[in-house]
Amino acid sequence: MDHHHSHAQDSNASIRAAFFLNLIFSLIEVAGGFLTNSLAILSDALHDLGDSFSIGFSWFMESRARRPGHGSYSYGFRRLSLLAALVNAIVLLVGSVFILSRAIPRLFAPEPAHPGGMLALAILGILVNGAAVLRMRNGKSLNEQMIVWHLLEDVLGWVAVLVVSVALLISDLHILDPLLSMLITCYVLYNVVRNLHKTLAIFLQAAPPELDLAALDHALGAIEGVLSTHHTHAWSLDGEHNVLTTHLVVPATASRAHLIRVKKAALRLVEHADLEHTTIEIEFEDENCRMRPD
């Protein structure tokens, strides 16, 4: 519990730092866009402001997700963090589509840019967003991972601006700007969709990918004194905190000592799975399970 509490505090502090870094730089970027008269930088500033509000929402939800369960919410509020990851994914998808909608027309009608101002802002953007990525890089929750993709998208975008600005200082290849933007956006989109798939799988209560549920169920059924198993289910609350339930059937004549041995053996089998909640129900073979068949 101390480990989880410490991780939650570190996670919240990292998201808070990422929020303020992103917000401050977005405001600098708006000013820089006007000073360089660059529509590309102004549009990116708008995108970064959207990122800031998205990260701020994640910060708020992450802090709320740490509250202990009460009343109807007996499992707690961990899925608020997952909800933030879902909102972040949607924002990234919309933002990426917006960038593509602006980049594609520029392939056919490249616009002139101001390489000097672009170069200065690119270096600052890489430093600021890179610092935020380094702060968030060890995040384990899907919410933190989605924020990292927000920030990494910004870092890659500024790397593209840096490359383009250097190229424009020595040539007139204005098509590089939209071309690199499209490549980076497609790369980010691929990873966002992959993380979105994970998020939706958790909402649909899919078994955690690191847990081989079929093999675990088979191992539980092979415990000495267990006749069969049923209703073996596993799911995750938020991508980090997992839950397992199972029913083990024992002979009708099984003694109390037999039941204790079976339960201890079952707990030894699942102790490596990093489960937050484990429910093992033991039934006698002549007892009717109150649950419907799987």
Give pLDDT tens digits for 259-268. Answer: 999 999 999 9
More confident residue, 294 or 192: 192
Is the pLDDT score of 39 beyond 60?
no
Is the pLDDT score of 274 beyond 80?
no
Closest Cα to residue 188, out of 278, 272, 124, 92? 92
Is the pLDDT score of 196 beyond 90?
no
Closest Cα to residue 135, out of 278, 12, 3? 12
Looking at residue 3, its pLDDT comes to: 46
Q: How far apart are CA 154 and CA 194, in angstroms?
A: 19
Instruction: Give residue 284's pLDDT band: very low, low, confident or very high (50, 70, 90).
Output: very high
Looking at residue 54, its pLDDT comes to: 74
Average pLDDT over the chain, rounded to whole? 79
Looking at residue 28, its pLDDT comes to: 83
What are 119-165's pLDDT values in tens digits? 888 898 888 888 888 877 776 666 677 778 778 877 877 887 788 78
Looking at residue 46, its pLDDT comes to: 64
Handedness of CA 288, 292, 293, 294 (dihedral sign): negative
Contact 150, 55 (CB under 8 A): yes
- The CA dihedral of 84, 88, 91, 92, to the nearest 10 degrees, is -170
Instruction: Give residue 2's pLDDT band: very low, low, confident or very high (50, 70, 90).
Output: very low
Looking at residue 227, its pLDDT comes to: 93
Q: How far apart are CA 50 and CA 287, in angstroms?
A: 57
Please give the DSSP secondary-structure letter assigned to residue 168. Answer: H
Percent of the chain's residues with pLDDT above 70: 85
Is the pLDDT score of 220 beyond 90?
yes
What are 80-98's pLDDT values in tens digits? 777 877 887 887 788 778 7
10 Å CB burial of residue 74 (0-12, 13-18, 19+) is: exposed
Element (H, E) at 263: helix 256-270
Q: How far apart are CA 103 and CA 177, in angstroms?
A: 8
Q: What average pLDDT does range 33-43 have in this prediction?
A: 65
Amino acid at 230: H
Instruction: Give residue 36's pLDDT band: very low, low, confident or very high (50, 70, 90).
Output: low
Is the pLDDT score of 242 beyond 70?
yes
Q: In what order do the strands lie in the sheet with 275-284?
A: 228-236, 242-250, 275-284
Is the pLDDT score of 282 beyond 70?
yes
* Cα–chain center distance at 56: 15
User: Domains in the chain, start-ordered, CATH in brackets?
Assistant: 2-203 (1.20.1510.10), 213-284 (3.30.70.1350)
What are 176-188's pLDDT values in tens digits? 777 777 777 787 7
pTM across the whole model: 0.66
Instruction: Give residue 228's pLDDT band: very low, low, confident or very high (50, 70, 90).
Output: very high
